[in-house]
């Protein structure tokens, strides 16, 4: 079984990715860039014991609210993007929740290319 077969066989779903061109500021207001959507298959897993990722449930107190970031990993055969000079970070819809791609690594194993992405969402007060 190839690695891509494993992503398909153990996949946790097909996800909608929203990819936007970088927006611009007009009179101090941010205007989002044009968006495209695509479907990807992937395997989503908790980001546990990954030293290059900040722990997922660190709460921050602000005047507005308490917030935390939840962090997960996605493996996919489709290229995904973090923020670049021309793109905002990809947004992956997982069960109706927007997850933002904050890190991507391209992996090549036995000539097969896939991407491992670190994705995050902000939550209020630590509630799922």
Pairing state of beta strands 91-94 and 13-20? Answer: antiparallel
Average of per-residue pLDDT across 59-77: 72
- Sorting pLDDT into bands at 50, 70 and 90, what band is 98? very high
pTM of the full structure: 0.77
Give the CA-trace dihedral at 57, 39, 19, 68, to 10 degrees: -10
Q: What is the CATH number of the domain that holds 66?
A: 2.40.10
**pLDDT tens per residue, range 26-61:** 999 989 999 999 999 999 988 766 545 554 445 555
- Sorting pLDDT into bands at 50, 70 and 90, what band is 64? low
Which positions ≥6 away from 85 have C-beta within 8 Å?
Answer: 22
State the total domains in the chain.
1
Structural domain boundaries, residue 97: 3-124
């Amino acid at each position: 079984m190839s690695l891509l077969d494993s992503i398909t066989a153990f996949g946790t779903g097909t996800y909608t990715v929203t990819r936007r061109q970088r927006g611009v500021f007009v009179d101090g207001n941010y205007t989002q860039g044009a968006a495209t959507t695509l479907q990807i298959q992937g395997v989503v897993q908790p980001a546990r014991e990954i030293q290059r990722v900040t722990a997922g449930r660190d709460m921050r107190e602000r005047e507005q609210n308490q917030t935390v970031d939840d962090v997960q990993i996605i493996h996919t055969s489709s290229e995904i993007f973090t923020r670049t000079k021309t793109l905002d970070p990809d947004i992956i819809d997982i069960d109706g929740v927007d997850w933002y791609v904050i890190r991507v690594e391209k992996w090549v194993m036995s000539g097969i290319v896939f991407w491992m992405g670190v994705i995050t969402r902000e939550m209020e007060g630590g509630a799922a």
